[in-house]
């Protein structure tokens, strides 16, 4: 750390709604505080050309249009940070950005912190502002977060030019419920902002540190009657819960964090959205009582900003009785089309108090809805009641709570003290409701610790934590170490390490409570590490031992259970890589196979000083030989079950022997008839190939890949190899090291096929790439698209003749049908290419109403991609024009037209993607009229998971067992 040269301890709260910085001067040598904790007023634009210093920097970024604001209107007292250098249009951060976002729809980046924790998207992809128009510049969640930190850094360095922010003792706060991926992404954003060295602190702990700092002079008396504090932090994007035990040890106070809640995307954003829906419903009530079209995603985001401002006005102390929420019209009707709705303080309090803090029993279960709100692509909590989540949290930690407060099993498992944080608790009604609810559960009032300023307590507490870390005498530290125990899944019984019941076995590599900076090595266990070939590590976390069972111990073997029994273990992003030994890294390509080996290792784990998990494999023979295991932060698919049962494993050996027989040594002289029989023989050994599991398929692919050179041996060999390789690697992702497999497979693309004139080889070639397209990156899919276009052009020219050109001659030929199936499966190409393909398909449809064209149109314009980025979808208004053409067809005579329309109009729940309600209603009515399957109608009217038959129709074939199309 930078403590030896730092002059200030700095705490940064990178919040969902606001970013706050606090600091305290350090004594010479960096030991202890030389001054009070002070808020840093951040200079920011509050109006065009007007700068003011404010304690809160709104965590929003306005993506301006070119020419919208003059350079003089955006001038700050410092040069723009490097993180803004690539911005093609004006970028505004802070107070003015929030104002502009409330005026211009679809240009405001908000809730970037929530997106950082959303594992369902690529958090490095430019997807924000969500649902914005194609001409609005986009940024990734990581880039947006980095820009707020870079802005703070620039503002600080202007005020303290001789003590740059990056040289201070820095603490950055994160929700206690952030998993390892979200924490690592936060650190990545900090590095991009020029802050490479800092520590992370959980926000509920920061809140308590702030309270301790403010009451340090009377701390013994202030905590005399408290044994267990529940910290409830309801911020802009998350609800964060922690339990802190208070004990007297040897005459001094000891503090230990004993419980942390699960990640809950539930906070002020949800409340703003609920108000926006209320206001929208009133606005949509037309003058004649007829409903009109719902607001677009961009306009709704604008309304949410206005509702947020209204909520803050109405819930503040001394608030007015009512405020008007006005949404300006669009285009030429900017003023004349404006609509206003009045919100009263009473109805806002009622909606938020009763909707988000209902009075429930302590045993009230969480509501198990099918899904939470997905209005802007974020997976909000299924149950919006904070009180039910608090009840669930306390039930899961019941034994630890009883032990902390000293009551028996029959006593109430309730804390005796409450500390609230978050802007929502500025409203007395919300604080009172939660306090009263907890008091009713406990049978007696709780002691409420006063939080004088919830907006800044986290940043101030981070400073207090930093001061405790640099030796500020009298400053208490909260113990507890790692909030959860960490486990490595074992591969003892089959690849996935499952027993006959399907239960997973794992070993504890870092027990809950392990302190930071201490490396723990499992000396009692040795492991065989495969070097020079793809390996994958499955990690899980659990705080089940905080809920009554004995603490997990280092090296303890646990049964993670099945079904409901496995719910106490949460999967982390995988660690997947090809580990190299120092000798192998310098080996010549022809000797790589020999570099494959198994190395005996021991596992070493540590909670780092910055608050993240770090794992190494350490060679038993040479302790200097270590392999750092890093999380795969970009992947976001759920890899599901990686194990095979023992019966399948027993049949695998003869199956691999058959592959070796066909594609092994050329000297075996295998006749063509035997080559053709391989598929049937594999099914005899392994069962119908539709039932082959993903782990089995990947083992078969690996065997085929090792013998890939033999595919050119004969026409039959090439046909078979291409067919089996594509089938065994479909859909190109979803299993350990599939990205590595695709990297290897892609090396074949430029060479093409050996038997170029054979139509079946051509078809198998393009089928292979269609099947694995989900694992190809955007550049590779663009390369496929070039060959797609070349083939279609050649086919239209009737074969091309001698003047087709060398480029066309190098492309493996493919039929129109092959190209249609391939082109429609490329989900990672930009949306403008998809629009172009769609236009070509519509022209083709006008000439011949064939089923394949309709299928391709439905797939390429899908509202819910199978694997692609949501930002690459065809815009909804373009899809609406495609549907006009499909509606003109005779659906009774042409049944595929109905399915294409249903899939194009499929409801996602995300307003940015969904088609207008009137159009979806028309399609649903037409589907009923022609007697379409019920699932087609349901997918247009509600958010559904597709059944197997519909899934097969969408993808053109089934997925391997264990993979489910949930989009």
**162 CB-near residues (< 8 Å, 6+ apart):** none
- Residues 799/792, Cβ–Cβ less than 8 Å: no
Total number of domains constituting the chain: 6
Question: Residue 617 above 80 pLDDT?
Answer: yes
Percent of the chain with pLDDT over 70: 85
**Residue 372: its pLDDT value, please?**
43
pLDDT digits (tens, 9 = 90+) for 484-516: 888 988 864 444 444 444 457 888 988 888 887
Q: Do 838 and 762 reside in the same domain of the chain?
A: no
For 338, other C-beta atoms within 10 Å of its C-beta total: 11
Question: Residue 633 above 80 pLDDT?
Answer: no
Q: Do 663 and 784 reside in the same domain of the chain?
A: yes
Q: Do 309 and 337 reside in the same domain of the chain?
A: yes
- Residues 547/399, Cβ–Cβ less than 8 Å: yes
**770 CB-near residues (< 8 Å, 6+ apart):** 726, 821, 822, 825, 956
pLDDT digits (tens, 9 = 90+) for 203-244: 999 999 999 999 988 888 888 889 999 999 998 888 999 999
- Residues 101/305, Cβ–Cβ less than 8 Å: yes
- Residues 450/425, Cβ–Cβ less than 8 Å: no
Q: Is residue 824 part of a domain?
A: no
pTM of the predicted model, to two decimals? 0.76
**Residue 492: its pLDDT value, please?**
47
The H or E element spanning position 447 is strand 447-449
Higher pLDDT, 611 or 510: 510
For 654, other C-beta atoms within 10 Å of its C-beta total: 13
Instruction: Give the relative orientation of helices 851-860 and 831-847 as an angle to the nearest 10 degrees.
Output: 160
DSSP category for residue 159: H
**Residue 943: its pLDDT value, please?**
85
- Residues 514/608, Cβ–Cβ less than 8 Å: no
- Residues 205/466, Cβ–Cβ less than 8 Å: no
Residue ending a domain, choose from 201, 221, 244: 201
Residue ending a domain, choose from 169, 201, 233: 201
Cα–Cα distance measured from residue 657 to residue 694, given in angstroms and rounded to the nearest whole number: 20
Mean pLDDT, residues 731-736: 83
* CATH for 120: 3.30.420.40
**433 CB-near residues (< 8 Å, 6+ apart):** 353, 357, 359, 387
Q: Are strands 478-479 and 252-260 parallel, antiparallel or unpaired?
A: parallel
The H or E element spanning position 819 is helix 816-824
Q: Do 392 and 462 reside in the same domain of the chain?
A: yes
Q: Do 237 and 94 reside in the same domain of the chain?
A: no
Q: Is residue 759 part of a domain?
A: yes
Question: Residue 960 above 70 pLDDT?
Answer: no
Q: Is residue 174 part of a domain?
A: yes
Question: Residue 593 above 70 pLDDT?
Answer: no
pLDDT band with cut points at 50, 70 and 90 for residue 287: very low
DSSP line for 450-475: P-S-TTTHHHHHHHHHHHHHTT-TT-
Question: Residue 712 above 50 pLDDT?
Answer: yes
Higher pLDDT, 30 or 490: 490
Cα–Cα distance measured from residue 312 to residue 426, given in angstroms and rounded to the nearest whole number: 9
- Residues 215/419, Cβ–Cβ less than 8 Å: no
For 324, other C-beta atoms within 10 Å of its C-beta total: 10
Cα–Cα distance measured from residue 728 to residue 722, given in angstroms and rounded to the nearest whole number: 10
**Residue 157: its pLDDT value, please?**
96
Q: Do 807 and 844 reside in the same domain of the chain?
A: no
pLDDT band with cut points at 50, 70 and 90 for residue 35: confident
Question: Residue 332 above 60 pLDDT?
Answer: no
**Residue 596: its pLDDT value, please?**
52
Question: Hey, what are 250's tokens?
Answer: 């040897």
pLDDT digits (tens, 9 = 90+) for 822-839: 999 999 999 999 999 999
Cα–Cα distance measured from residue 609 to residue 688, given in angstroms and rounded to the nearest whole number: 52
Q: Quick one: residue 640, left, alpha or beta (phi over 0 = left, psi -120 to 50 = alpha)? A: left
Cα–Cα distance measured from residue 3 to residue 22, given in angstroms and rounded to the nearest whole number: 17
pLDDT digits (tens, 9 = 90+) for 910-956: 888 899 999 999 999 999 999 999 999 999 999 887 777 777 777 77
**Residue 319: its pLDDT value, please?**
84
- Residues 12/173, Cβ–Cβ less than 8 Å: yes
pLDDT digits (tens, 9 = 90+) for 144-192: 999 999 999 999 999 999 999 999 999 999 998 888 888 889 999 999 9
Q: Are strands 38-39 and 42-47 parallel, antiparallel or unpaired?
A: unpaired
Nearest of 796, 713, 798, 729 to residue 768 by alpha carbon: 729
Mean pLDDT, residues 72-85: 79
> What CA dihedral angle connects 914, 916, 920 and 925, to 10 degrees?
170
Question: Hey, what are 404's tokens?
Answer: 């902390």
Q: Is residue 822 part of a domain?
A: no
**Residue 818: its pLDDT value, please?**
94
Cα–Cα distance measured from residue 468 to residue 465, given in angstroms and rounded to the nearest whole number: 5
Q: Do 338 and 403 reside in the same domain of the chain?
A: no
Higher pLDDT, 14 or 561: 14
- Residues 512/483, Cβ–Cβ less than 8 Å: yes
Residue carrying the six token digits 């419903």? 281
**381 CB-near residues (< 8 Å, 6+ apart):** 239, 264, 265, 266, 270, 372, 389
Mean pLDDT, residues 5-22: 94
Nearest of 889, 932, 939, 896 to residue 914 by alpha carbon: 939
Count of residues making up the chain: 967
pLDDT band with cut points at 50, 70 and 90 for residue 591: very low
Mean pLDDT, residues 96-121: 87
Q: Do 538 and 574 reside in the same domain of the chain?
A: yes
Question: Residue 83 above 80 pLDDT?
Answer: no
The H or E element spanning position 485 is strand 485-489
Residue carrying the six token digits 């498992």? 413
* Cβ burial 593-618 (10 Å sphere, 16+ → b, else e): eebeeebebbbbbbbeebbbbbbbbb
pLDDT digits (tens, 9 = 90+) for 860-887: 999 988 888 777 899 999 999 999 999 9
764 CB burial (10 A radius; 0-12, 13-18, 19+): buried
Q: Which long-range contacts (CB under 8 A, 24 or more apart) does 618-622 make?
A: 618/521, 620/526
* CATH for 334: 3.90.640.10
Q: Is residue 947 part of a domain?
A: yes
Cα–Cα distance measured from residue 107 to residue 849, given in angstroms and rounded to the nearest whole number: 40
Q: Considering only 428-437, 639-648, 677-686, 907-916, which range has the smallest mean pLDDT?
A: 639-648
Query: What distance separates the 2 farthest-apart alpha carbons in the chain?
Result: 95
Q: Do 666 and 746 reside in the same domain of the chain?
A: yes
pLDDT band with cut points at 50, 70 and 90 for residue 640: very low
**Residue 562: its pLDDT value, please?**
54
Cα–Cα distance measured from residue 184 to residue 164, given in angstroms and rounded to the nearest whole number: 24
Higher pLDDT, 748 or 543: 748
Q: Do 294 and 280 reside in the same domain of the chain?
A: yes
**217 CB-near residues (< 8 Å, 6+ apart):** none
| Residue range(s) defining the domain that contains residue 426 | 203-264+376-470
Residue ending a domain, choose from 149, 168, 201: 201
815 CB burial (10 A radius; 0-12, 13-18, 19+): middle
Q: Is residue 2 part of a domain?
A: no
Q: Is residue 763 part of a domain?
A: yes
3-class DSSP state of 304: helix
Question: Residue 611 above 70 pLDDT?
Answer: no
Question: Residue 1 above 60 pLDDT?
Answer: no
Residue carrying the six token digits 């509606």? 887
Cα–Cα distance measured from residue 78 to residue 157, given in angstroms and rounded to the nearest whole number: 9
Higher pLDDT, 182 or 440: 440
Residue carrying the six token digits 């909804």? 876
Cα–Cα distance measured from residue 168 to residue 750, given in angstroms and rounded to the nearest whole number: 52
Q: Is residue 649 part of a domain?
A: no
Cα–Cα distance measured from residue 786 to residue 749, given in angstroms and rounded to the nearest whole number: 13
**Residue 473: its pLDDT value, please?**
54
The distance in angstroms from the start CA to the end CA of the chain is: 44
Q: Do 258 and 272 reside in the same domain of the chain?
A: no
> Across 115-129, 271-285, 411-425, 949-963, which has the greatest mean pLDDT?
411-425
Q: Do 662 and 769 reside in the same domain of the chain?
A: yes
Nearest of 889, 868, 886, 890 to residue 940 by alpha carbon: 886
Q: Please name the residue ranges forming H helices in 848-933.
A: 851-860, 876-887, 895-904, 917-929
């Amino acid at each position: 750390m930078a403590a030896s040269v730092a002059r200030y301890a700095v705490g940064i709260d990178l919040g969902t709604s606001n970013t706050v910085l606090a600091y305290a001067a350090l004594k010479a040598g960096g030991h202890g505080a030389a001054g009070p904790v002070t808020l840093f007023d951040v200079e920011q634009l509050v109006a065009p050309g007007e700068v003011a210093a404010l304690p809160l920097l709104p965590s929003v970024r306005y993506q301006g249009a070119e020419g919208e604001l003059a350079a003089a209107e955006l001038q700050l007292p410092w040069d723009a940070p490097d993180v803004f250098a690539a911005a093609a249009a004006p970028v505004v951060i802070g107070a003015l950005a929030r104002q502009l976002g409330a005026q211009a729809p679809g240009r405001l980046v908000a809730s970037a912190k929530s997106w950082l924790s959303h594992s369902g998207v690529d958090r490095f992809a430019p997807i924000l502002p969500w649902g914005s128009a194609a001409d609005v510049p986009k940024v990734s969640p990581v880039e947006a977060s980095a820009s707020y930190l870079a802005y703070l850094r620039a503002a600080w360095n202007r005020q303290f030019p001789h003590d740059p922010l990056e040289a201070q003792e820095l603490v950055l706060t994160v929700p206690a419920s952030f998993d390892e991926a979200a924490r690592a992404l936060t650190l990545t954003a900090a590095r991009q902002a020029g802050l490479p060295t800092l520590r992370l602190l959980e926000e509920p702990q920061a809140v308590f540190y702030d309270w301790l700092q403010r009451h340090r002079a009377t701390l013994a008396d202030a905590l005399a009657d408290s044994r267990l504090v529940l910290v409830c932090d309801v911020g802009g994007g998350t609800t964060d819960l922690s339990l802190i035990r208070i004990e007297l040890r040897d005459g001094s106070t000891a503090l230990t964090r004993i419980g942390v809640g699960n990640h809950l995307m539930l906070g002020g954003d949800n409340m703003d959205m609920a108000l926006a829906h209320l206001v929208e419903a009133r606005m949509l009530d037309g003058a004649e009582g007829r409903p009109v079209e719902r607001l677009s995603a961009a306009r709704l985001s604008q309304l949410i900003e206005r509702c947020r401002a209204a909520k803050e006005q109405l819930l503040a102390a001394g608030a007015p009785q009512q405020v008007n929420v006005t949404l300006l019209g669009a285009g030429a009707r900017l003023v004349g089309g404006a609509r206003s709705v009045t919100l009263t303080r009473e109805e806002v309090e009622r909606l938020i108090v009763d909707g988000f803090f209902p009075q429930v029993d302590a045993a009230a279960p969480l509501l198990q809805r099918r899904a939470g709100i997905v209005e802007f692509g974020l997976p909000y909590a299924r149950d919006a009641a904070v009180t039910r989540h608090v009840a669930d949290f306390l039930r899961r930690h019941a034994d630890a709570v009883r032990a902390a407060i000293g009551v028996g099993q029959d006593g109430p498992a309730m804390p005796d003290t409450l500390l609230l944080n978050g802007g929502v608790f500025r409203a007395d009604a919300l604080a009172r409701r939660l306090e009263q609810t907890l008091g009713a559960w406990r049978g007696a009032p709780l002691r409420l610790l006063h939080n004088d300023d919830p907006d800044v307590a986290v940043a101030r507490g981070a400073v207090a934590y930093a001061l405790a870390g640099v030796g500020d005498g009298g400053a208490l530290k909260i113990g507890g170490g790692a909030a959860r125990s960490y486990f490595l899944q074992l591969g003892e019984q089959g690849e996935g390490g499952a027993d006959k019941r399907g239960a997973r076995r794992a070993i504890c590599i870092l027990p809950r409570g392990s302190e930071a900076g201490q490396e723990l090595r499992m000396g009692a266990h040795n492991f065989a590490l495969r070097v020079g070939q793809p390996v994958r590590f499955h990690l899980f976390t659990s705080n089940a031992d905080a809920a009554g069972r004995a603490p997990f111990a280092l090296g303890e073997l646990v049964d993670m259970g099945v079904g409901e029994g496995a719910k106490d273990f949460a999967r982390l992003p995988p660690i997947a890589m090809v580990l190299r030994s120092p000798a192998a890294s310098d080996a010549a390509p022809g000797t790589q196979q020999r570099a494959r080996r198994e190395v005996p290792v021991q596992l070493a784990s540590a909670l780092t000083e910055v608050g993240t998990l770090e794992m190494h494999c350490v060679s038993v023979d040479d302790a200097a030989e270590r392999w750092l295991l890093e999380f795969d932060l970009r992947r976001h698919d759920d890899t599901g079950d990686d194990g095979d049962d023992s019966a399948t494993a027993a049949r695998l050996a003869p199956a691999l022997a058959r592959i070796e027989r066909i594609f092994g040594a050329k000297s075996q002289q295998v006749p063509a008839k035997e080559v053709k029989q391989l598929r049937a023989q594999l099914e005899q050994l392994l069962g119908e190939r539709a039932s082959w599991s993903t782990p089995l398929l990947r083992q078969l692919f690996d065997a085929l890949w090792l013998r890939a050179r033999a595919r050119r041996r004969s026409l039959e060999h090439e046909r078979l190899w291409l067919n089996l390789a594509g089938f065994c690697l479909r859909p190109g992702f979803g299993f350990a090291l599939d990205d590595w497999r695709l990297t290897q497979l892609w090396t074949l693309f430029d060479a093409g096929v050996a038997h170029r004139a054979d139509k079946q080889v051509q078809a198998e070639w393009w089928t292979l790439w269609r099947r694995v397209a989900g694992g190809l990156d955007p550049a590779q899919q663009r390369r496929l698209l070039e060959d797609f276009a070349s083939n279609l052009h050649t086919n239209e020219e009737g074969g091309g003749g001698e003047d087709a050109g060398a480029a066309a001659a190098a492309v493996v030929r493919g039929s129109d049908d092959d190209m249609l199936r391939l082109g429609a499966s490329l989900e990672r190409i930009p949306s403008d290419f998809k629009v172009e393909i769609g236009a070509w398909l519509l022209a083709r449809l006008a000439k011949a109403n064939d089923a394949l064209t309709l299928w391709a149109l439905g797939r390429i314009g899908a509202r819910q991609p199978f694997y692609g980025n949501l930002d690459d979808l065809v815009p909804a208004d373009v899809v609406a024009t495609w549907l006009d053409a499909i509606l003109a067809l005779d659906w009774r005579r042409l049944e595929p037209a109905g399915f294409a329309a249903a899939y194009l109009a499929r409801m996602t729940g995300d307003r940015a993607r969904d088609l207008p309600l009137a159009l979806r209603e028309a399609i649903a009515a037409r589907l009923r009229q022609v007697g379409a399957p019920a699932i087609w109608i349901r997918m247009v009217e509600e958010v559904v998971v597709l059944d197997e038959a519909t899934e097969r129709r969408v993808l053109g074939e089934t997925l391997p067992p264990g993979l489910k199309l949930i989009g």
